[in-house]
Amino acid sequence: MTANPYIIKVILKAMSKLLFIGLDSALTYFIETFTRRGLMPKTAELIEKGCYLKTLPSPPTDTPTNWATLMTGCWAGTHGLTSFSVHLPGDPLTKRYSTLNSRMCQVKFLWDILEEHGLKTIVVNYPVAWPPTIEKGIVIGGPAPLGSPWRIGFSKCFSTKTLKGKYSPSTLRLELRKSNNPILKEKSVIEPLEAEVKLFSQLNRDVRHYKVLNSPTYILGIVGEKEYRKAILLKGEKVLAELGVGEWSPWIIDNITTDKGVVRAAIRVKLAKLTSDGRDVRLYCTDFYDTRGWCSRSELTEEIVENVGPYTEGFEHPGMHEDLGYISWLEDDYKTLLEQAEMQARWFVNLAKYLLEKEKWDAFIMHYHLPDGLNHWLLGYLHKDHPAYSEEKYRIAFKVYSEGYQIIDKMISGLVSPVDSEDTIIVIASDHGSMPHWKFVNLIPKLVEYGLIAYKWDPEEKVFEIDWSRSKVFPYFEPSYIWVNLKSRYPHGIVEDEDYDEVVEKTIEALYSIRDPETGECPIALALRKEDAIYLGQWGDRVGDVIFFLKPSYSCWNTPRFDKIDPSVLALGDVAPVRDKPTNVTGYHSTYLPNARIGNFEITAPLIIAGPGVKKRYKREKPVYMVDIAPTILHLLGLEIPEYIEGRVLREILA
pLDDT per residue over 571-625, tens digit each?
888 998 876 666 778 999 999 999 999 999 999 999 999 999 999 999 998 999 9
Average pLDDT estimate for 75-84: 97
| pLDDT interval class at 323 (50, 70, 90) | low
Q: What pLDDT is recorded for position 265?
A: 98
Nearest-CA neighbor of 567 among 440, 467, 462, 446? 462
Q: What pLDDT is recorded for position 486?
A: 98
Distance CA 320, CA 473 (A): 32
Distance CA 186, CA 90 (A): 69
Note whether 283 and 270 are within 8 A (CB).
Answer: yes
Domain ranges of the chain: 1-86+114-131+141-150+294-432+595-655, 151-292, 438-588
| pLDDT interval class at 40 (50, 70, 90) | very high
Residue 8 has pLDDT above 60, yes or no: no
Q: What pLDDT is recorded for position 10?
A: 47
Average pLDDT estimate for 353-379: 97
Q: Which residues lie closer than 8 Å to 466 by C-beta, 6 or more apart?
A: 453, 454, 455, 474, 562, 563, 564
Average pLDDT estimate for 148-164: 93
Residue 112 has pLDDT above 50, yes or no: yes
User: Cα-flanking dihedrals φ and ψ of residue 469, to 5°?
Assistant: -70, -15
Question: Which of 92-106, 511-525, 530-544, 552-566 is predicted least confidently?
Answer: 552-566
Residue 225 has pLDDT above 60, yes or no: yes
Note whether 228 and 193 are within 8 A (CB).
Answer: yes
Q: DSSP letter at 531? A: G
Note whether 21 and 416 are within 8 A (CB).
Answer: no
CA dihedral (538, 543, 548, 552) positive or negative: negative
Average pLDDT estimate for 316-338: 78
CA dihedral (135, 138, 143, 149) positive or negative: positive
Helix H or strand E segment including 230: strand 228-235
Q: DSSP letter at 203? A: P
Q: What CATH number does domain 1-86+114-131+141-150+294-432+595-655 carry, 3.50.50.60, 3.40.720.10, 3.40.47.40, 3.40.50.80? A: 3.40.720.10
pLDDT tens digits along 188-199: 999 999 999 999
| pLDDT interval class at 221 (50, 70, 90) | very high
Residue 1 has pLDDT above 70, yes or no: no
Per-residue three-class SS string for 383-446: CCCCCCCCHHHHHHHHHHHHHHHHHHHHHHHHHHCCCCCCCEEEEEECCCCCEEEEEEECCHHH
The CATH class of the 438-588 domain is alpha beta
Q: What pLDDT is recorded for position 585?
A: 86
Residue 9 has pLDDT above 60, yes or no: no
Q: What pLDDT is recorded for position 614?
A: 97
Distance CA 160, CA 200 (A): 18
pLDDT tens digits along 18-32: 999 999 999 999 999
Note whether 389 and 324 are within 8 A (CB).
Answer: no
Distance CA 53, CA 618 (A): 8
Question: Which of 203-212, 305-314, 543-552 is predicted least confidently?
Answer: 203-212
Distance CA 607, CA 279 (A): 50
Residue 125 has pLDDT above 90, yes or no: yes
Distance CA 27, CA 108 (A): 28
User: Cα-flanking dihedrals φ and ψ of residue 524, to 5°?
Assistant: -85, 120
Half-sphere exposure of 59 (CA within 13 A, CB side): 24
Q: Which residues lie closer than 8 Å to 45 by C-beta, 6 or more apart?
A: none
pLDDT tens digits along 278-321: 999 999 999 999 999 999 999 999 999 999 999 999 999 987 76
Q: What pLDDT is recorded for position 255?
A: 98
Average pLDDT estimate for 392-417: 97
Half-sphere exposure of 186 (CA within 13 A, CB side): 5
Distance CA 456, CA 460 (A): 12
| pLDDT interval class at 448 (50, 70, 90) | very high
Average pLDDT estimate for 553-559: 82
Residue 382 has pLDDT above 60, yes or no: yes
Average pLDDT, the chain: 94
Higher pLDDT, 428 or 330: 428
| pLDDT interval class at 130 (50, 70, 90) | very high
Average pLDDT estimate for 421-440: 96
Nearest-CA neighbor of 343 among 309, 300, 390? 309
Q: DSSP letter at 177? A: E
Distance CA 434, CA 51 (A): 22
User: Cα-flanking dihedrals φ and ψ of residue 404, to 5°?
Assistant: -65, -45
CA distance to 28, 225, 346, per residue, from 186 (Å): 55, 11, 36
Distance CA 143, CA 120 (A): 22
What angle is formed at CA 119 by the lines to CA 113 and CA 123, rounded to 5 degrees? 75
Residue 331 has pLDDT above 90, yes or no: no
Residue 91 has pLDDT above 70, yes or no: yes
Q: Which residues lie closer than 8 Å to 326 by C-beta, 6 or more apart?
A: 155, 157, 168, 272, 284, 318, 319, 336, 337
CA distance to 59, 104, 263, 590, 629, per residue, from 541 (Å): 15, 13, 41, 20, 25
Residue 13 has pLDDT above 50, yes or no: no
The burial of 94, by beta-carbon neighbours within 10 Å (0-12 exposed, 13-18 middle, 19 or more buried), is given as middle
Q: With pLDDT > 70 as the criterion, what percentage of the chain qualifies?
A: 95
Distance, CA of 541 to chain centre? 26
84: left (phi over 0), alpha (psi -120 to 50) or beta: alpha
Q: With pLDDT > 90 as the criterion, what percentage of the chain qualifies?
A: 87
Beta partners for residue 284, in sequence order: 157, 270
The answer to whether the bond into 371 is cis (omega within 30° of 0) is: no
Note whether 633 and 73 are within 8 A (CB).
Answer: no
Question: Which of 145-149, 567-571, 610-614 is predicted least confidently?
Answer: 567-571
**DSSP of 36-94, one letter per residue?**
HTTS-HHHHHHHHHSEEEEEEPPSS-SHHHHHHHHHHS--HHHH---TTEEPPTTS-TT
Distance CA 250, CA 261 (A): 25
pLDDT tens digits along 239-292: 999 999 999 999 999 999 999 999 999 999 999 999 999 999 999 999 999 999
Q: What pLDDT is recorded for position 580?
A: 67
Nearest-CA neighbor of 402 among 333, 327, 354, 480? 333
| pLDDT interval class at 421 (50, 70, 90) | confident
Q: What pLDDT is recorded for position 558?
A: 65
Q: What pLDDT is recorded for position 12?
A: 42
Q: What pLDDT is recorded for position 417?
A: 97
Note whether 620 and 652 are within 8 A (CB).
Answer: yes
Residue 65 has pLDDT above 60, yes or no: yes
Q: What pLDDT is recorded for position 319?
A: 78
Note whether 93 and 453 are within 8 A (CB).
Answer: no
Buried b (16+ CB within 10 A) or exposed e, 133-163: bbeebbbbbbbbbbbbbbbbbbbbbbbbeeb
